[in-house]
């Protein structure tokens, strides 16, 4: 390498600053993108093609079912009072949406799992939608409305209802001379009985039910995560209920390590398990494969509890940062309350969901007979929202850590639950204080 003719000037820190790159930085900071999907969102005289109608950006997560995207675009195009642009967001929807609500680049109308989070409501990020319902309120599934209510106001409109149930192979149970279990002890005995060779009795997910079955076990014992604004699992029945899952684990009645987890019917269809906890959405695939060789039952109960099914729904919410909050609310009312034919189409034409309006359930042909009709029937009788609104992500994380330790490591449920109480109480104090 040739030597330079003169030493290169070294830069002292002082000179570096004196060279004044600072001004250039300011310019680049200001050049942030602004892609909200709204045309002329900042100025009210949005002439152009929209003819003075408000523009609404509506966000959906990417549904896996064929035709859903076309359907929601069609609904949006049918709306006359505003220009609705549908955004179909792949990837980590919950996190991108939560983050974009902090900016002006967020949606006007968006769906969110089980309605907005308590922090969105308290942070004034979503609009109160109570007045949209009018006299239709009693027609919505009560557990969903309750889940999306805070402080006496309703913060989202439930779109379609999804549920989880216990599905079993009729032929396998009949072959072993077992009836569908109604009580938890029967379930434990059946799972043990049906475990033979490579076939396991029960599949509750690859984590042995640690992630999913906490709620159903509490409900089976007549308890819940929360009781109003109090801890709901702080009683003698809770450790006993959770230890049932540990029993199933140590009995080796549980199927584990599946390539496709509980939300896919593969394990049940291929006969690796006799019973599986899964979602209603798997029923078309199961009946294609097994005909009528399957049945659906709610999660059984223990002494003092009742059978249960977890229900959840994406709720349609309105961002308080919307360009025109009233126009966004009008659109939500039109689509998710007035247009019942669209709601029925959205629930049953593409995937397999239950309409969130009770009066629409009988109109859904796919839910008219067989196990699907049984399952839909459990919703009003045994339905529980998956987790209560005040059950913050921090509570959920602490809870699922606890469940994993109890189920997989054999930790003492009483001690674990006792350690959880102060965590949950601190969060409750934060969100209700």
Partner 1 sequence: MLARLRGRHDVNLWFWVFVGPFFAGLVLFIYVPIGWSVYLSFFEAYNTVTPTEFVGLANYRDMLADPAFRDSLLTFVVFAAFIVPTTFALSLLTALLVARTRVMQAFFRSVFFLPVACSYVVAALIWKMSIFSGMRSGAANALLGLVGLDPVPWLSITDPPWYWLVIVSARLWLQVGFYMILFLAALQRVPTNLYEAAAIDGAEGWQVFRHITWPQLLPASTAVLLLLLINAFQAFDEFYNILAGFGGYPPYARPPLVYLYYTALGSGQNFGDGSAGAVILTVLIAVVALAQTRLLRLGGRD
CB 168 within 8 A of CB 162: no
16-35 footprint of partner 1 as x/- string (CB under 8 A): ---xxx--xx--xx------
Supply the minimum distance, in Å, between the C-beta of residue 233 and partner 1.
17
Supply the minimum distance, in Å, between the C-beta of residue 428 and partner 1.
14
242-261 footprint of partner 1 as x/- string (CB under 8 A): --------------xxxx-x
CB 384 within 8 A of CB 309: yes
List binders of partner 1 among 122-151 (CB under 8 A).
122-123, 125
Of 206, 276, 301, 319, the one binding partner 1 by CB under 8 A: 206
Of 12, 95, 151, 179, the one binding partner 1 by CB under 8 A: 95
Contact range with partner 1 by CB under 8 A, out of 65-73, 90-98, 293-301, 362-370: 90-98
Q: Rule CB under 8 A: is residue 91 a binding residue for partner 1?
A: no
Q: Rule CB under 8 A: is residue 348 a binding residue for partner 1?
A: no
Contact range with partner 1 by CB under 8 A, out of 33-41, 52-60, 116-124, 285-293: 116-124
Supply the minimum distance, in Å, between the C-beta of residue 79 and partner 1.
29
Ramachandran class of 370: left when φ > 0, alpha when ψ lies in -120 to 50, beta otherwise: left
Q: Rule CB under 8 A: is residue 210 a binding residue for partner 1?
A: yes
Which residues are CB-neighbours of 173 under 8 A, at least 6 positions away? 179, 180, 190, 194, 274
Supply the minimum distance, in Å, between the C-beta of residue 164 and partner 1.
11
Residue 233 to residues 205, 214, 230, 339: CA-CA distances in angstroms?
23, 11, 9, 40
Taking the C-alpha atoms of residue 102 and residue 176, their distance in angstroms, rounded to an integer, is: 57
Of 4, 7, 9, 33, the one binding partner 1 by CB under 8 A: 9
CB 304 within 8 A of CB 221: yes
Contact range with partner 1 by CB under 8 A, out of 210-218, 223-231, 284-292, 302-310: 210-218
Supply the minimum distance, in Å, between the C-beta of residue 397 and partner 1.
6
List binders of partner 1 among 260-299 (CB under 8 A).
261-263, 272
Beta bridge partners of 319: 126
Structure tokens at 382: 């045994």
Residue 210 or 286 with smaller CB distance to partner 1: 210
Q: Rule CB under 8 A: is residue 104 a binding residue for partner 1?
A: no
Supply the minimum distance, in Å, between the C-beta of residue 375 and partner 1.
20
Q: How far apart are the first and last CA of the chain?
A: 70
Long-range contacts of residues 332-335, Cβ cutoff 8 Å, at least 24 apart = 332/109, 332/129, 332/132, 332/157, 333/132, 333/157, 334/79, 334/81, 335/75, 335/79
Q: Rule CB under 8 A: is residue 199 a binding residue for partner 1?
A: no
Supply the minimum distance, in Å, between the C-beta of residue 94 and partner 1.
5
Candidates 36, 35, 33; CA nearest to 319 is 36
Residue 343 or 387 with smaller CB distance to partner 1: 387
Supply the minimum distance, in Å, between the C-beta of residue 92 and partner 1.
9
Taking the C-alpha atoms of residue 411 and residue 249, their distance in angstroms, rounded to an integer, is: 13
Helical spans, DSSP H, in 129-221: 130-133, 142-147, 170-175, 184-194, 214-220
Supply the minimum distance, in Å, between the C-beta of residue 327 and partner 1.
24
β strands within 196-245, DSSP E:
200-203, 226-227, 230-231
List binders of partner 1 among 388-407 (CB under 8 A).
392-394, 396-398, 400-401, 404-405
Helix or strand or coil: residue 17?
helix
Taking the C-alpha atoms of residue 192 and residue 202, their distance in angstroms, rounded to an integer, is: 9
Helix or strand or coil: residue 317?
strand
Which residues are CB-neighbours of 92 under 8 A, at least 6 positions away? none
Q: How many residues are there in the chain? A: 433
Supply the minimum distance, in Å, between the C-beta of residue 13 and partner 1.
13
Helix or strand or coil: residue 111?
strand
Q: Rule CB under 8 A: is residue 152 a binding residue for partner 1?
A: no
- Total residues at interface with partner 1 (CB under 8 A): 49
Ramachandran class of 114: left when φ > 0, alpha when ψ lies in -120 to 50, beta otherwise: left
Contact range with partner 1 by CB under 8 A, out of 48-56, 61-69, 120-128, 145-153: 120-128
Residue 76 or 163 with smaller CB distance to partner 1: 163
Interface with partner 1 by CB under 8 A: which residues? 9, 11, 19-21, 24-25, 28-29, 94-95, 98-99, 101-102, 117, 119-120, 122-123, 125, 198, 205-208, 210-212, 256-259, 261-263, 272, 392-394, 396-398, 400-401, 404-405, 408-409
């Amino acid at each position: 390498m040739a030597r330079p003719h003169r030493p290169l000037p070294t830069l002292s820190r002082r000179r570096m600053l004196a060279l004044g790159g600072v001004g250039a930085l300011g310019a680049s900071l200001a050049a942030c993108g602004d892609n909200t999907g709204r045309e002329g969102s900042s100025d009210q005289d949005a002439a152009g093609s929209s003819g003075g109608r408000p523009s609404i950006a509506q966000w959906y997560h990417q549904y896996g079912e064929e035709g859903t995207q076309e359907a929601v675009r069609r609904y949006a195009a049918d709306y006359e009072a505003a220009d609705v642009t549908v955004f179909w967001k792949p990837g980590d929807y919950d996190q991108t949406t939560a983050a974009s609500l902090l900016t002006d680049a967020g949606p006007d109308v968006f769906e969110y799992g089980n309605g907005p989070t308590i922090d969105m409501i308290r942070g004034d990020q979503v609009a109160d939608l109570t007045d949209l319902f009018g006299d239709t309120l009693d027609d919505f599934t009560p557990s969903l409305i309750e889940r999306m209510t805070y402080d006496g106001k309703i913060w989202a409109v439930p779109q379609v209802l999804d549920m989880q149930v216990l599905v079993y192979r009729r032929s396998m149970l009949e072959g072993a001379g077992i009836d569908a279990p109604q009580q938890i002890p029967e379930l434990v005995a059946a799972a043990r009985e049906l475990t033979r060779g490579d076939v396991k009795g029960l599949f509750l997910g690859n984590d042995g039910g640690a992630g999913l079955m906490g709620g159903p076990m509490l409900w089976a014992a007549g308890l819940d995560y929360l009781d109003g604004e109090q801890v709901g699992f702080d009683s003698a029945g809770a450790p006993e209920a959770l230890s049932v899952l540990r029993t199933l684990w140590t009995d080796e009645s549980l199927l584990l390590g599946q390539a496709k987890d509980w939300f896919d019917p593969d394990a049940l269809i291929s006969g690796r398990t006799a019973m599986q906890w899964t979602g209603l959405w798997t029923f078309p695939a199961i009946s294609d494969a097994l005909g009528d060789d399957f049945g659906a039952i709610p999660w059984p109960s223990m002494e003092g509890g009742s059978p249960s099914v977890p229900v959840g729904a994406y709720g349609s919410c309105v961002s308080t940062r919307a360009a025109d909050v009233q126009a966004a609310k009008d659109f939500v009312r039109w689509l998710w309350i007035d247009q019942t034919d669209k709601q029925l189409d959205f629930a049953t034409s593409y995937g397999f969901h239950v309409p969130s309006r009770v009066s629409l359930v009988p109109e859904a042909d796919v839910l008219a007979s067989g196990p699907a009709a049984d399952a839909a029937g459990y919703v009003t009788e045994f339905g529980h929202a998956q987790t209560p609104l005040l059950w913050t992500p921090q509570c959920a994380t602490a809870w699922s850590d606890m469940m994993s330790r109890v189920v997989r490591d054999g930790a003492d449920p009483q001690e674990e639950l006792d350690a959880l109480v102060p965590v949950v109480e601190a969060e409750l104090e934060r969100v209700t204080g």
